[in-house]
Amino acid sequence: MILNCMLLLFVQDLNAGVDDFWAAKDQRTRSRIAKKIIKSDPQFDALLHALKDERIYSDQVPVGRTVEHHVMRAVTYPYALHVPENYQANKAYPLIFFLHGGVARPKLDDDEIWWRNEEAATSDEHISVFPAGWDRAMWWRYNQIENLTGIINVLKSKYHVDSNRVHVVGVSDGGTGVYYQAFKSPTKWASFSSLIGHSAVLVNPSNFAEGQIHPANLIGSQMFILNGAHDRLYPLQNVIPYVSLFQSLGSQIEFHGLPFSGHSLAWWKRSDYGLTDFLKRSVRDPLPDELTWETEEAKRFGRRSWLIIEKLIKSESKPPIYELPVVELDPVIGLDFDFRVEDTLLVYRVIESSCAWQAGIEKGDIITHVQDQPVINESELYDLLMQHAGTQVDLIVKRGEKHLGGVISVPARQPSQTQSPFARRQESGRVDLKKVGNKVYVKCQGVGAFKLLLSPDRFDFKQPIVIDVNGETVHDDVVQADVETLMRWASLDADREMLFAAEISLKVPRD
């Protein structure tokens, strides 16, 4: 009886300590609590169970819109937070970050709006975050990787967030920042949505992106990309070859090219082109069986999920440098339509010198027929025009009360130019791994040492764990689960879906 009571008290103390651990807002506090838990000498299985057990969250938390602040190294990073008014503590919510454009401007005040239309991005079904970026904290700098990660961890300590449904969406510079997160720090994110952004910004030295950009790092990532043909900054025709490369490497990309849109979100008034559905169905696999990661700097950019590159070396075997593929590009028509009008092709803008401008189409015209076929939406118009690319096409427009006939000369499709935008400024190393049962097959290029973090959810610790590196077995032994390892990585990650019982550091055999 006394023994049972003592055991019950120990379990209660352990659970209380774990609750305090997950409720801690920063790594320092988590580490301090972790030391106390370790000092109590818990059984590994009991501790693991307590860490994985569903938390009881408080319902006495702020809801609605608030402005919060994340402080790092004496710099304050503000963010607007929207928590549903009907927030329920027993329900796990997706967490969606929205990165604004115009990031090269000076820092805004707290009462200024960073995202122009927050209401359109909020919902009772998710928690929304609108962080601030500025000229000294651009989205493609390492301090923003730290900032966004810190905000995620703070919010998870207070609100019931689904760790496998944390998404990042960005517009213009924010869309480019989404690419940066995917290239350099994807571990915490379930998906990446870039709206009217462009990955090419990150390889332009004048934009001061920290670190090199490695296309292979998008392998396995879930991405939503949308660009417009008349975008004055990132025209669709410039973006398509990059997207084609990423898709060819194995990125899971849902791509939308809008032939009658520019550098704006006007289309969102009518349709989000499946963005909401994409976010709903995109769920993170926190510990994927296959991983690819390339880095030029192991200290800051060496990790993806349960793989950590620890040392780079000069080697005969180098990661490939990718060229953009040659793709057939559709011609630009040069029309923007008023997205506020349903089932009517009301011309909002005509691009000067475009084929539509040369055909005499004017703002305010309504296009009604193409090749004697009625058209009422952009898809119907575009399909008919592309069927006749390289030829002249008859059309009818309504101008005021008159119906006018005309001819538009649709340009032919043209191949894109070959480019090598991802040339390296310094040497990098790459690891490709595949887990099959308790065996891990690893291919290393330019890597001298790496570490694997082992989860008891994915490995059988009662059986030997075999690791094959470049065709040579470098580890074949049983690995012991360790309380200190478990708590150290839980303190760093603050993620109940990524709990590691052991780690193995390995040197790569020389060629």
What are the DSSP calls for 70-91, one per residue? Answer: EEETTEEEEEEEEE-TT--TTS
The DSSP code for 199 is G
Q: What percent of the chain has pLDDT over 70?
A: 98
Long-range contacts of 199-205 (CB under 8 A, 24+ apart): 199/242, 200/234, 200/238, 200/239, 200/242, 200/421, 201/140, 201/173, 201/176, 201/234, 202/140, 202/176, 203/421, 203/422
Which residues, at least 6 apart from 5, have a Cβ–Cβ distance to it below 8 Å? none
Burial class (CB in 10 A: 0-12, 13-18, 19+), 394: middle
Using one digit for the tens of pLDDT, what is the confidence trace for 231-264?
Answer: 999 999 999 999 999 999 999 999 999 999 999 9
Residues 202-212, mean pLDDT to the nearest whole number:
93
Using one digit for the tens of pLDDT, what is the confidence trace for 405-458?
Answer: 999 999 999 999 888 899 888 899 999 999 999 999 999 999 999 999 999 999
CB atoms within 10 A of CB 399: 14
In angstroms, the CA 119 to CA 115 distance is 10
Which residues, at least 6 apart from 307, have a Cβ–Cβ distance to it below 8 Å? 291, 293, 431, 433, 450, 451, 452, 453
Q: What is the mean pLDDT of the chain?
A: 94
Task: Please check whether residue 72 is in contact with residue 147, taking contact to mean a CB–CB distance below 8 angstroms.
Answer: yes
Residues 343-364, mean pLDDT to the nearest whole number:
95
Residues 212-225, mean pLDDT to the nearest whole number:
97
pLDDT at 510: 84
Q: Please name each of the domains of the chain with its CATH number.
A: 2-52 (no CATH), 64-284 (3.40.50.1820), 331-412 (2.30.42.10)
pLDDT at 58: 94
Read off the tokens for 223: 């991405």
pLDDT at 258: 95
Number of H helices, E strands in the chain: 12, 25
Residue 12 has pLDDT above 70, yes or no: no
Highest mean pLDDT among 116-120, 317-321, 390-394: 390-394
In angstroms, the CA 153 to CA 495 distance is 8
- Token pair 């402005």: residue: 67
Q: Quickly state the pLDDT bin for 485 (edges 50, 70, 90).
A: very high
**Count of CA atoms in the C-beta half-sphere (13 A) of 459:** 30
Tell me the H-state helices in 282-363.
298-301, 355-358
Q: Quickly state the pLDDT bin for 16 (edges 50, 70, 90).
A: confident
Which residues, at least 6 apart from 472, have a Cβ–Cβ distance to it below 8 Å? 509
Q: Quickly state the pLDDT bin for 111 (edges 50, 70, 90).
A: confident
- Coil, strand, or helix at residue 349? strand
Read off the tokens for 75: 């710099």
The DSSP code for 126 is B
pLDDT at 3: 40
Q: 44-62: buried (b, 16+ CB within 10 Å) or exposed (e) per residue? A: beebbebbeeeeebeeeee
Task: Please check whether residue 79 is in contact with residue 70, taking contact to mean a CB–CB distance below 8 angstroms.
Answer: yes
pLDDT at 8: 42
pLDDT at 13: 74
In angstroms, the CA 417 to CA 422 distance is 15
Residue 7 has pLDDT above 80, yes or no: no
Q: What angle do CA 262, 265, 271 make, to 5 degrees?
A: 110
Task: Please check whether residue 128 is in contact with residue 198, taking contact to mean a CB–CB distance below 8 angstroms.
Answer: no
Nearest of 471, 477, 476 to residue 508 by alpha carbon: 471
Residues 14-27, mean pLDDT to the nearest whole number:
93
In angstroms, the CA 312 to CA 413 distance is 44
- Token pair 């990446």: residue: 192
Residue 5 has pLDDT above 50, yes or no: no
Task: Give the β-pairing of 161-171 and 414-415.
Answer: unpaired
Residues 465-488, mean pLDDT to the nearest whole number:
97
Residue 73, CA distances (Å) to 28, 65, 79, 374 in order: 14, 26, 17, 62
In angstroms, the CA 503 to CA 180 distance is 28
pLDDT at 11: 54
Q: Quickly state the pLDDT bin for 269 (edges 50, 70, 90).
A: confident
Tell me what percent of the chain is helix, strand and coil, each rounded to the nearest 5. 30, 30, 40
pLDDT at 10: 45
Q: DSSP per residue over 393-452, as a string?
A: EEEEEEETTEEEEEEEEPPPPEEPPP--TT--SS--EEEEEEEETTEEEEEEESEEEEEE
Residues 300-327, mean pLDDT to the nearest whole number:
95
What pTM does this model have? 0.95
Q: Quickly state the pLDDT bin for 9 (edges 50, 70, 90).
A: very low
Using one digit for the tens of pLDDT, what is the confidence trace for 132-162?
Answer: 999 999 999 999 999 999 999 999 999 999 9
